[in-house]
Amino acid sequence: MVHDSNDNPDDRARKSPPPAAGDVPPDLDPATTGGEDEDDARLPDILEESGAVGEGPLASGHEAIERAVRLAPTSPGVYRMLSANADVLYVGKAKNVKKRLSNYARQNAPQPARILRMIAATVTVEIVSTNTETEALLLEANLIKQLRPRFNVQLRDDKSFPYILITGDHWAPQILKHRGAQSRPGRYFGPFASAGAVNRTITALQRAFLIRSCTDSFFESRTRPCLLYQIRRCAGPCTREIDFGGYTTLVREASDFLSGKSHAVKQELAGEMEKAAGELEFERAALYRDRLAALSAIQSQQGINPRTVEEADVFAIHQEGGFSCVEVFFFRTGQNWGNRAYFPRAEKTFTAEEVLGSFLAQFYDDKPPPRNILLSHEIEESELLANALAIKAGHKVEVNTPKRGEKKELVAHALTNAREALGRKLADTATQSRLLDAMATTLSLPHPPKRIEVYDNSHIQGTNAVGAMIVAGPDGFVKNQYRKFNIKSEGITPGDDFAMMREVLERRFKRLINPPEEGTVKAKDDDFPQWPDLVIIDGGRGQLNAVREIFASLGLTQVSLMSVAKGPDRDAGRETLFMPEREAIKLEPRDPVLYFIQRLRDEAHRFVIGSHRKLRKKDIREAGLQEIPGIGPSRKRALLHHFGTLKEIERASIADLGKVPGVSAESARRIFDYFHPQPG
């Protein structure tokens, strides 16, 4: 989708009802449930496993719903079923709320075990009336994403998509990757499926159209062209290597290419290349040749580029082994802008059509929909969804399940990718499950851990100290649970790792023991536990004993602890594992459990080092160069005049730093070491 920031679809969406979408409600019609299934036959066991018996019997749940039916409106609306703990169990919408709730209240109607578990856990029902069913659909999905009820289909991976922005607030527009609110003037092209796809496209566009990617401050400080000009990835507008008219032409060509006019742009460049060759200006002809090659590289990386589909999102779902995978392809301006696989959380009793319908509604809660949405399965409320998305987008949206032609081929291709992605997911899950089982056996844990937390900290002689926690579970690393902790205590002695770890663990577990009030934190995935089964720290017996004391002071006794000490000369495969009240454990270098523990430790180290470097770079940019011993105002001015910005100084090698007038070899080494320290 391409649009100007002055006519932002998100701005138009804010004028409509709250942007959201809904979940397909459970089917309660006896004619379509097909009678009892295997889960219905073992309903007492299912109810006991779900904990519903403790929250309220099935009869009590029916009574609670019947009370709500008496006061329910016959108009459209959204209803929420709540448990005894005020947890939202299910969010649904209906054209006639009273009629829908009456279906739940029928005690003799055959219903799936999933619905009976939900009814048994229900203590009260809350209702919100809306003017139309479309508004109800939008509100429903907004509440599902916000509250994450366990009986709804949930879109767990909800990261924003990156765009390409060609700025419009400077005489020499910049090309860059953009996420978030589209408030900066310019033209936005996207969405792209991943940051990698955007970065590759921008790099190729720089080669093809020579548009600058530097910041405005860097642009204004230049007195000579930078390296990108030398390697022919920028036209050099900062030092007037190209005039205003010429640069404007390059920007127009880039915008045309991203807007779908790639054929016309390539024809124009080919004509210029032939003209230059005819005039015997072979160097200029070679420049056009290289630009054409860069454009061809972009299109070859994109794979499928449809001939008849200008703008569409393609969704295909595949179910296997109790899991669902939804593969999404993005096509804009006739180009393939990438794909991404999603694994929504849903009970195995949900059909592919139900999962896909609910997924779509939540997917477009915070994203502008295209004009066409192509599906692998027909969903029940496609027309209602199309109307809701049209209100949100401000233009007509069609939701179709193609039966023939190129659109059908696109869906089939997406379905193949969904099948392969789910196969990889199931294989990874099985491998992870085996590793967790083996870890429990090797470490004599009471059961395979469902949540593992690994802690590490980083600093440079006590400065910019930061701690970090990474989390792993049955599905691998759970990155939305990662946390970093900027060390705040002023009384900590610089470099005191024990005190830093104490602060991190106390802040983490005090928050678990005394959780914030409801509404002050984002909702979490109910399926994933918040309390760890195993805590791993980097260090030896001393670190382990220190953490034991911290846990004892907090009254924590049910969490298993382990520390991992590096081997001699820090060799991987020679680590020693320490656990309370046990002898040190040495595993064979090729033991899969040891390899798994190394991965956990290395991921924690990677995350904490990245967090530390970000914090340090921020401080460096704020403090300038004055913090480097021996670098005074004169050398600072010489460095900035030579490199332009602090970021370029940070990137420079020792040899490049030594070329600056007034900077000796020793000063160059000191500057380089300051920007590239060895973490302690």
Q: How far apart are CA 96 and CA 553, in angstroms?
A: 55
**Residues 185, 217: one domain?**
yes
Same-domain check for residues 168 and 287: yes
Res 314 pLDDT > 90: yes
Best-predicted range by mean pLDDT (110-114, 399-403, 537-541, 658-662): 399-403
Predicted pLDDT of residue 35? 37
Q: Are residues 401 and 503 in the same domain?
A: no
Is the same domain home to 609 and 480? Answer: yes
Q: Give the confidence band of 318 by pLDDT, cuts at 50, 70, 90.
A: very high
As a three-state string, the secondary structure of 573-607 is: CCCEEECCCCCCECCCCCCHHHHHHHHHHHHHHHH
Mean per-residue pLDDT of the chain: 79
Q: What is the pLDDT of residues 220-252, one digit of tens each?
A: 888 888 888 888 889 899 988 888 988 998 888
pLDDT grade for 347, boundaries at 50, 70 and 90: confident
Q: Do residues 31 and 60 touch, judged by C-beta distance below 8 A?
A: no
Strand partners, 484: 468
Residue 299 pLDDT grade (very low, low, confident, very high; cuts 50, 70, 90):
low
Phi-psi region of 382 (alpha: psi -120 to 50; beta: other; left: phi over 0): alpha
Six token digits for residue 49: 């496993």
The dihedral of CA 436, 441, 442, 447: what is its sign?
Answer: positive
Residues β-bridged to residue 127:
79
**What is the span of the domain harbouring residue 262?**
163-301
In this prediction, residue 377 has a pLDDT band, given cuts at 50, 70 and 90, of very high
Domain count across the chain: 5
pLDDT for residue 626: 59
653: its two tokens: 């090698």
Q: What is the pLDDT of residue 489?
A: 65
Give strand ranges (E) for 116-195: 124-129, 163-167, 175-178, 186-189
Q: Are residues 53 and 140 in the same domain?
A: yes
pTM to 2 decimals?
0.66
pLDDT tens profile 180-208: 778 889 989 878 877 877 887 888 788 87
Domain assignment present for residue 429? The answer is: no
**Length in residues, the chain:** 680
Q: Does residue 1 form part of some domain?
A: no
**Which pLDDT score, from 0 to 100, does residue 373 have?**
92
Q: Is residue 491 part of a domain?
A: yes
533 and 568 assigned to the same domain: yes
- Residue 62: what pLDDT? 85
Which CATH number covers residue 376? 3.30.420.10
Measured CA to CA, the distance from residue 342 to residue 358 in angstroms comes to 13
Residue that terminates a domain, selected from 95, 112, 147: 147
Mean pLDDT of 347-364: 88
SS3 assignment, position 101: helix
CATH number at residue 51: 3.40.1440.10
Q: What is the mean pLDDT of residues 273-277?
A: 78
Contacts of 517 (CB under 8 A, 6+ apart): none
User: Residue 523: its pLDDT value, please?
Assistant: 44
Name the pLDDT band for 52 (thresholds 50, 70, 90): very low
How far apart are alpha carbons 211 and 255 in whole angstroms?
Answer: 11
Angle at 227 between CA 226 and CA 233, to 5 degrees: 100
Do 508 and 611 fall within a single domain?
yes
Looking at the domain assignment, is residue 436 inside a domain? no
Residue with tokens 């765009």: 163
Q: Among 210-219, 456-465, 473-482, 658-667, which stretch is predicted with the lowest mean pLDDT?
A: 456-465
- The residues with which 178 forms a beta bridge, in sequence order, are 163
Residue type, 617: K
Rg of the chain, C-alpha, whole Å: 30
Give me 383's structure tokens. Answer: 């027309």
* 157 or 422, which is more confident: 422
Give the Cα separation of 238 and 221 in Å (integer).
8
Segment among 293-297, 467-471, 559-563 with least mean pLDDT = 293-297
More confident residue, 37 or 358: 358
Token match 């499926």: residue? 193
Tokens of 224: 């000579």
Average pLDDT, stretch 342-357? 88
Are the CB atoms for 122 and 79 separated by under 8 Å? Answer: no
Q: Which pLDDT does position 520 carry in this prediction?
A: 40
Longest dimension (CA), the chain: 91
Q: How far apart are CA 631 and CA 591, in angstroms?
A: 51
Assigned domain for 314 exists = yes
> What tokens appear for 23 in the block?
């979940």
- Give the residue with greater pLDDT, 584 vs 287: 584
The mean pLDDT value for 587-592 works out to 84
**Highest mean pLDDT, choosing among 179-193, 557-571, 590-604, 633-647:** 590-604
Q: Do 36 and 183 belong to one domain?
A: no
Enumerate the H helices of 624-664 as residue ranges. 633-643, 646-651, 654-658
- Does 463 lie in the same domain as 601? yes
Give 314's strand partners: 329, 374
602 shares a domain with 489: yes
Q: Give percent of the chain above pLDDT 70.
A: 79
Q: pLDDT tens digits, residue range 419-458? A: 998 888 888 888 888 999 999 999 889 899 999 999 988 7
Q: Does a structural domain hold residue 154?
A: no
pLDDT score of 376: 93
Mean per-residue pLDDT, 146-170: 83
Pair 272, 420 in one domain: no
pLDDT in tens, 495-528: 667 778 888 888 888 888 876 655 444 444 556 7
More confident residue, 488 or 625: 488
Looking at the fold, whether 368 and 493 belong to one and the same domain comes out as no
Tell me the CATH number at 553: 3.30.420.340
Q: What is the spatial order of strands in the sheet that 175-178 belongs to?
A: 2-4, 186-189, 163-167, 175-178
- Of 97-111, 311-325, 473-487, 629-643, the range with the lowest mean pLDDT is 629-643
Rounded Cα gap, residues 646 and 632, in angstroms: 15
430 lies in a domain?
A: no
Boundary-marking domain end, from 594, 615, 636: 615
Give yes or no for residue 572 having a pLDDT over 80: no
Q: How confident is the model at residue 173 (pLDDT cuts 50, 70, 90)?
A: very high
The answer to whether position 513 is within a domain reads: yes
pLDDT-based confidence at 46, cuts 50/70/90?
very low
Tokens linked to 623:
């403090």
Last residue of a domain, one of 596, 615, 634: 615
CA–CA gap between residue 257 and residue 248 (Å, rounded):
14
Whole-number pLDDT of residue 618: 61
Tell me how crowded residue 83 is: count the other CB atoms within 10 A of its CB.
21
